[in-house]
Structure 1
């Protein structure tokens, strides 16, 4: 396996080619915002994988058929009916982050006789098996899917393998029959199977913008895959990756997951609107089922509501007393 490179996205850097810094500098200038990057070991998975396992000091848990090897973690072997996952034990409270994924998919299957792919997760729940690439359906959070098998018979608009992204508030079900098309935010074709060179994927979440980029051609060049503004993800969710095979299979190997905290400059206006959220949501996109909780009222708004409620109550009491006195007065005149 080729030596592991190192990535950055706006800071994306990939080694070890000598001319690479100049090449990536051009890319960075074309994309860059002013950011600072900090490697977060507690959310990263790298060789020799000492932080994986059942010990109390481990940062990552294995699930199902996942195995720790010398050079990679194999989520599933090239065998039928296997599923495996690895999940971070530490919830992520970062505001802006970048997950760099070094992976390899390979097996004996030819063309479309292979499956099914793997998923990368940032979700509220962890360590739960299910039908969506080995993890649970109706999840809360973000899923990025590297799908290697087309379930829909008539695929006219996309070529597989295919990468897509989905944000779920717990009310949506992943549609396997249509390869997730009804709920995807975006995607791209990615020919990632049985390659002799390294393959990389980057998930970037900055200022409520979700970006997915890939480098799979061995040219040390990044290609856009998904770019969606207005994505609002709660903090405190977990990173993980999972895979599943059915009648068709592949080796699904994770070589590294590297998470970086991104410190991004924000204007006062951006700070004002960039508030904490309680459920995953995408601006201008209606996710059915669960309503997004209302943001707490400010102290001034609460005071005004209470004040005017009291004024209205006092006004109602005064009117009631006046009406009652008038009624009594009319009653006395009628009696005499």
Structure 2
């Protein structure tokens, strides 16, 4: 049985590697817009991101945009814009604090033409141009939905955020999301395609390895080269608002990539394809071997029962 278990594990491992390699064919990491511990270099700076306001960096844990204190504003902004037409951004965050009844105000993630301009909209400027997604934990007025609430606004550079009504007049999409004070890692994933003009937000708040759709927006027009930002603000109510990691990838359809290679008379990546087939072959052999071993063990056990 130990041999059977080992063979089965080998087969599953090979299949897993093959699946990951296949999934990565059209996805490329964007280091300029990704952020991980320890967040800063020897000069106490980050090559690709700016921190400011009341933001505090804990090199072993997170970038704390605002602490559980009143009247704070903090930001984290990419120094370069995103130039890729299609991309996804996955970030882990944590919202927590001592307040059991009143807490706030929340934080926001931005894909905008402007960057690092502090203001009243979750710590960012008003009348922004681009996308703002607000992780709102405090209700300024009576709403039909509960809080915390996640809401998207598409700014045209002229329209003010409807702060008195929690952005009700500006809402392009949203969902209720219990992301505050969770024991599991809370994450969000933004996916945008300039080709299809579709933007999607998924949230990880309920259970381990479980993602839920928050909203899907169609006909989305973002600035040609948007900056990525995270901001937060506290007033009389407050919380810790932490960004733990940011992973950004560019996306390219495999069919399009193949077409571009053919147009450029560039041979396809045979080496990578060969590796894929080799991994699949190993996986098939391992699974087949495991099945044969299981059959033999079962047959021997039946023979022993006869005697």
TM-score, L = length of structure 1: 0.66
Q: Does 1:114 align with 2:64?
A: no
Q: Is the 8 A contact 2:66 2:232 kept in 1?
A: yes
Q: Is the 8 A contact 2:112 2:223 kept in 1?
A: no
RMSD over equivalenced CA pairs, Å: 2.5
2:174 is aligned to 187
2:220 is aligned to 231
Q: Is the 8 A contact 2:112 2:130 kept in 1?
A: yes
Shift of 1:169: 1.2
Q: Is the 8 A contact 1:54 1:61 kept in 2?
A: no
Aligned partners of 2:55, 2:241: CA distance in 1, in Å? 10
Shift of 1:266: 7.5
Change in 2 beyond 3 A, CA 1:52/1:138? farther
1:103 is aligned to 93
Q: Is the 8 A contact 1:96 1:264 kept in 2?
A: no
SS at match of 1:177: helix
Change in 2 beyond 3 A, CA 1:237/1:163? same
Change in 2 beyond 3 A, CA 1:89/1:146? same
Change in 2 beyond 3 A, CA 1:240/1:53? farther
Query: Which structure: larger Rg?
Result: 1
SS at match of 1:194: coil
Aligned partners of 2:27, 2:173: CA distance in 1, in Å? 26
2:274 is aligned to none
Shift of 1:84: 0.2
Q: Is the 8 A contact 2:184 2:208 kept in 1?
A: no
Change in 2 beyond 3 A, CA 1:142/1:35? farther
Structure 1 counterpart of 2:188, from 194, 201, 212: 201
User: After TM superposition, which residue ranges in structure 1, 4 or more long, deviate above 3 angstroms?
Assistant: 51-55
Aligned length: 237
Shift of 1:265: 5.7
Q: Is the 8 A contact 1:53 1:61 kept in 2?
A: no
Shift of 1:219: 3.1
Q: Is the 8 A contact 2:51 2:77 kept in 1?
A: yes
Change in 2 beyond 3 A, CA 1:143/1:51? farther
Which structure 2 residue ranges, 5 or more long, are not aligned? 1-11, 257-307
Q: Does 1:155 align with 2:143?
A: yes
Aligned partners of 2:96, 2:218: CA distance in 1, in Å? 33
Q: Is the 8 A contact 2:66 2:234 kept in 1?
A: yes
Change in 2 beyond 3 A, CA 1:142/1:51? farther
Aligned partners of 1:88, 1:52: CA distance in 2, in Å? 19
